[in-house]
Amino acid sequence: MNRGRTLRSRKEAERRGRFSERLAAWSCRVRGFRVLAERYRTPFGEIDLVLRRRGLLIFAEVKARETFDEALHALRPPQQQRLAQAAAIYLRDHPIHDACAIRFDLIAVRPWRWPRQIGDAWRPESSF
């Protein structure tokens, strides 16, 4: 019985995560960003959103949490490193963006609040 409850809570978390990613993408579009990719999969992991506005290319991680601080602290250094590796794959596969400045953002999604985008939320150890 415990396994069934775990499966249900995992499915609910997945559903909540997908909704949060769609909401974050929509809010970015409203603010003038082009969404180039959603849930972009690489061997290193998934990039939630790839955004572009003018000469800026943004790799965004979406975190749905109860509070803003929880969302900020949910992105740990190992995940940041995997996202930087995934971004390098994206850049390799999409050379059209070579001239763009690169930024890594966090988009915090909280209940009954507009998603909040934190620009330049972290910088990867390796440079692009």
pLDDT at 118: 94
34 and 25 in contact (C-beta within 8 Å)?
no
Which tens digit of pLDDT belongs to each residue from 52-89? 999 999 999 999 999 888 988 888 999 999 999 999 99
pTM: 0.88
Residue 64 resides in a domain: yes
CA 58, CA 91: separation in Å to the nearest integer?
Answer: 11
Residue 127 resides in a domain: no
Residue 110 resides in a domain: yes
Nearest to 84 by CA among 121, 47, 35, 30: 47
Could you tell me the CATH number of the domain that includes residue 30?
3.40.1350.10
DSSP state letters, 39-103: EEEETTEEEEEEEEETTEEEEEEEEE-SSHHHHHHTS-HHHHHHHHHHHHHHHHH-GGGTTSEEE
Say whether pLDDT at 1 is over 60.
no
Q: State how many domains the chain has.
A: 1
Which tens digit of pLDDT belongs to each residue from 83-121? 999 999 999 999 999 999 999 999 999 988 899 999 999
